[in-house]
Chains A and B, each alone.
Chain A
Amino acid sequence: MNNKAPVKVIEGIPFFSDDRYWGKAPKEELEKALAIIEEKGWDEFKARYRDRFDSTFEENRADWRFVVPLSGESFVLDIGAGMGRISVPLARAVKKIIAVDNSFLRMKFLKLRAEKENLNNIEVCVGDIFDLPFERESFDLIVMNGVLEWVGVTDRFSNPSEAQIASLKICHELLKPGGHLYIGIENRFAFAYLRAIDHSGLRFTSYLPRWLANIYTLFRRGKRYQAFTYTKSGYDKLLQKGGFADTTFYLTYPGYNLPRLMIPYDNINAFAYAVRTFLPSIGWKRKVARFLARWPLLLRVYRYFFFSFGMVVKK
């Protein structure tokens, strides 16, 4: 499957690009945690670091797979696999997963986790999406969950959207004919960004025109605004430029990282049904939501401000 040799191999993990750590916790803390796993085992790790890393042992982060055609014969590439919250549950359902991430430590964690779960169909490697070593048409599914927005944070391209389009073209090339790309990502104009910080670490930047967001982040943070998110139509255009013409959009609730509910974007009846039927039975939020669900037009508008999307993109 590989068409180039790794630059180096450390502890059985091949490197196809430089190691770049990222994550919620400092690098040193993950190093310590890995030492604890190796020396004292997983129980001790769980006891000490239960919620410290985004390494939860829940299996539901990959539940979007139930709306993607997959089989026990599928080959999957998980880009930006992190600590394996998607690779691990997915590995139980497919033939083979290659998990790739910029961070050696995170790949080491995933390797240990796969060994613990007896999942010998997960292979890990350190790599950047632009340095992937795989042959054309190798995969039935490529996963970019929480990745596409970060792809633009690179010096290889002058414009983040160019980097994003280039990454989509790479995925298009690596997918088998009829294969699928799954993207989980935020909505640029999500209501949630009125009170939460954007990927830039600042408020409201996703709402601003790109040029203004760039000036603002340069001024406040001393770096360019590169983590671009889009609206539904923005993603549509981006995907088309990347070579994809067939995308099914889902609204993911409560968010793409935990897609408990995936509502088909184009089906307002399904959206109204979800609001009326699945929200908790009592409470003011439910009452407001049910009230709104009476008018399809309101739901139609609300979709534009929904927090995040799941996209099933067919080659």
Chain B
Amino acid sequence: MGENPNWLRKPGSSLSFMKMSTPEPEYGAEESKVLVFVFEEGERRPTICAKTTRTYSAGEVIRNNYSNLQSLAEGVRGSVYADMFAKPLYLHDKDNLVFSLESVCPGVKFSLLERDTALVIEKYIGWQSHLATSTEKTWGSGDITDLANKTIKTLGLSGDSALVLSNYYKHLAFDSNVKLPVLVQHGDFTLDNVLIYGEQINLIDYDHVGISKLPGFDLFNLFLKSEGRIGLLRTNCERYLPQYFGKIGARIAPESYDSILFVHYLQERQRKMHLEAYQEKSGEEIVNSFRSLVAK
């Protein structure tokens, strides 16, 4: 570690360490991590965060997290969004030991919901529109339909249930001229993973970066998981999605939003399918649960 003395703000000052174990996430206990924050004497926030797992065999989550952070950093290098994520510093993966080091994002969690929500979404959309300027890949209606069908297949449903989902997707009005840029999504964009620092936002927890590259997945997740705290899913979608799609240069009619939301919903189910509550559901039940979500 001595090869990069600039990691510390005040080299030579005494250090103290704060340990935090992440709760076992709903996506799987193997993703549980142990974080050690390094504080330099007199500093109000930590300089470095070390991440590891309890056993080497569970270390994939650290490697993924680090590699995701590297790709996020690459996407914002030199831009005004460069400080929106931690900076990857070092990955150690040998001698039966895996840990990563990264810088620590400043900021605090949400307090004033309405003001903070508007700020967070504005900054998030800014980041996504920055990414959109450097991507040439796009999703057409065929690609999105393929994605929907592939996702349905991975849900492990019976043939009948899969057919119900497939038919429901077809039934949703979908603009055949749709064109959406392929954009990296944070993958776990929730209130707990956003820090607010003045007029800046920082996104933390990079385990699920890239889980979807279909634009809107993050916002769908944020609205879904914060429902009741920052407003209803439908209201938020109507309020923010036109602005979001407009800024990333997407071509999509508002009538097609439900189709996209349904694909996001299926992707979210796919991520949680190992959980008991998400198993043994029929196609009808899944469709009904989606309908009741977006009907509010």
Give A contacts to B, CB under 8 Å: 59-60, 63-64, 66-67, 72, 89, 92-93, 250, 259-264, 266-267, 269-270, 272-274, 276-282, 286-287, 290
Contacts and interface: CB of A to CB of B under 8 A. Distances in A.
B55 A273 contact: no
26 contacts: A60-B21, A63-B54, A67-B36, A89-B54, A261-B18, A261-B19, A261-B20, A262-B18, A262-B20, A264-B16, A264-B18, A267-B39, A269-B43, A269-B44, A269-B45, A273-B39, A277-B108, A278-B20, A279-B109, A280-B192, A281-B110, A281-B191, A281-B192, A282-B110, A282-B113, A290-B111
A227 to B, nearest CB: 27
Interface in B4-35: 16-21, 23, 32, 34
Contacts of B19: 63-64, 66-67, 250, 259, 261-262
Given A93-B55, A261-B20, 4 more contacts: A92-B54, A93-B54, A270-B39, A287-B111
A173 B287 CA distance: 67
B79 interface: no
B18 A263 contact: yes
B203 interface: no
A66 B52 contact: yes
Contacts of A250: 19
A203 B163 CA distance: 62
B16 A266 contact: yes
Nearest to B194: A281
Nearest to B195: A277
Contacts of A278: 20
Interface string B91-113: 00000100000000001111101
B136 to A, nearest CB: 37
Contact of B37 (A64, A270, A280): A270
Nearest to B23: A260
A46 B110 CA distance: 39
A296 to B, nearest CB: 10
A260 B21 CA distance: 5
B21 A63 contact: yes
A168 B86 CA distance: 43
B198 interface: no
B21 A270 contact: no
B46 A273 contact: yes
A278 B46 CA distance: 13
A182 to B, nearest CB: 13
Nearest to A260: B21
Contacts of B21: 60, 63, 259-261
A264 B38 CA distance: 11
B296 interface: no
Contacts of A60: 21, 32, 54
A282 B111 CA distance: 7
B116 to A, nearest CB: 10
A65 B3 CA distance: 26
Contacts of B36: 66-67
Contacts of A72: 96
Given A267-B39, A277-B195, A59 B20 contact: no
B229 A290 contact: no
B78 interface: no
